[in-house]
Amino acid sequence: MEYLLLLIGLIFLIFSGRILINNAVAIARRFHLSPFVIGLTVVAMGTSAPELLVSLSGALKDHSDVAIYNIIGSNISNIFLVLAVAAMILPIPVSRKTMRLDWPVMIAFSIMVSVFILDLRLSFHEGIILFILLLVFIIYSLNRSRKDSTDDLKKNPGTRPVYAALILVLVSSAGLALGANLLVDNAVILARKFHISERIISVSLIAVGTSIPELATSAIAAFKKETDISIGNIIGSNIFNIGFVLGLTGMIKPLDVNPLVLSFDIFWFLGAGIFLLVMVMAPRKMEVQRWKGLTMLSAYLIYLYFVLANNTA
């Protein structure tokens, strides 16, 4: 029964996430936001909603490992799995502005949260700092978007009424909440049943499950050749996972951190962002090509191997 409920939870996350993303983009287009910033903010917030609901649910049910490892695993899989798959579908060009302005923000958030958890705890005040800095980033991105807004978006703002999109956003949010509850509860039950640590379940199954909206969005964007949305979604989602998800979760309930985070997972967490820079810049071409996507996917499989080989709590 737990397997069925786990699957139902994932299905709710996937479909609710897709509805949320589509309608969030429809609303954003009404306000003439550029494709990259739609991916960086609106779509990133939508695709981070499953992580938020899962982490909040885990924290409130005293499963701190679920809350922390969900974000660590999700940020790693966003780069090594989601972006890799999108790049293997269609090479993704990356603007210098993205690597000069948005990539450093992602790395700064990653370093900041790594410093915050050195005492094996994410406190209320640290959560506030992450959340406020995210708000600053959103305001900056929206202002930048209005300056860079394209003529195409001005001519094609979308046809769906804003009120209809808002209703669907609310309905899909409820679906995300239900899916998150089912996913966390039954993942923990299965972990205990098979003597698998919550860390393993969270950093693999739950992290990949909550990254499915990012994977779907980036893959669809790649097929539609909307690569600005694809790369913006990945970078933005990683920023939102830290500032929005961990920030808000830490404000609602401070989190205890598993010592294994500092001895193993944090290096992959930080390394994924550095690896992204290397892949984009080498060999002197601002593009995530197919061979780079394959390299990143291989790195993710290596990470999962070491995680599964160390089944400790």
Lowest mean pLDDT of 3-12, 72-81, 157-166, 277-286, name the range: 157-166
Q: Which domains does the chain show, CATH number per domain?
A: 2-309 (1.20.1420.30)
| Residue matched to tokens 């974000």 | 71
What letter does residue 62 receive in the DSSP assignment?
A: T
Neighbours of 287 (CB within 10 A): 14
Sign of CA dihedral 272, 287, 224, 34: positive
Q: In the predicted model, is pLDDT for residue 152 greater than 60?
A: no
Of 12-16, 157-161, 304-308, the range with the lowest mean pLDDT is 157-161
Distance (Å, whole) CA 95 – CA 44: 18
The residues with which 97 forms a beta bridge, in sequence order, are none
State the pLDDT at residue 187.
Answer: 76
For range 10-25, the mean pLDDT: 74
Give the pLDDT of residue 151.
46
Rounded Cα–Cα distance for residues 80 and 256 (Å): 26
Tokens of 211: 């990254």
The residue among 83, 11, 69, 79 whose CA lies nearest residue 260 is: 69
Predicted confidence band of residue 132 (pLDDT cuts 50, 70, 90): very high
For residue 153, is pLDDT > 50?
A: no
DSSP symbol at 160: S
Provide the Cα torsion 67, 177, 158, 93; round to 10°. 20
Reduced to 3 states, what is the DSSP secondary structure of residue 256?
strand
Give me the long-range contacts of 92-95 (CB less than 8 A, separation at least 24).
92/222, 92/227, 92/230, 92/231, 92/287, 92/288, 93/227, 93/286, 93/287, 94/231, 94/280, 94/286, 94/287, 94/288, 95/36, 95/286
Q: If DSSP codes are grouped into helix, strand and coil, which group holds residue 236?
A: helix
Average pLDDT, the chain: 81
Contact 313, 198 (CB under 8 A): yes
* pLDDT digits 0-9 by tens, 232-276: 778 888 999 999 999 999 999 999 998 989 989 999 999 999 999
Q: How many helices (H) and strands (E) does the chain have?
A: 17, 4
Q: What is the pTM of this model?
A: 0.80
Q: How many residues does the chain have?
A: 313
DSSP letter (8 states) at residue 92: E
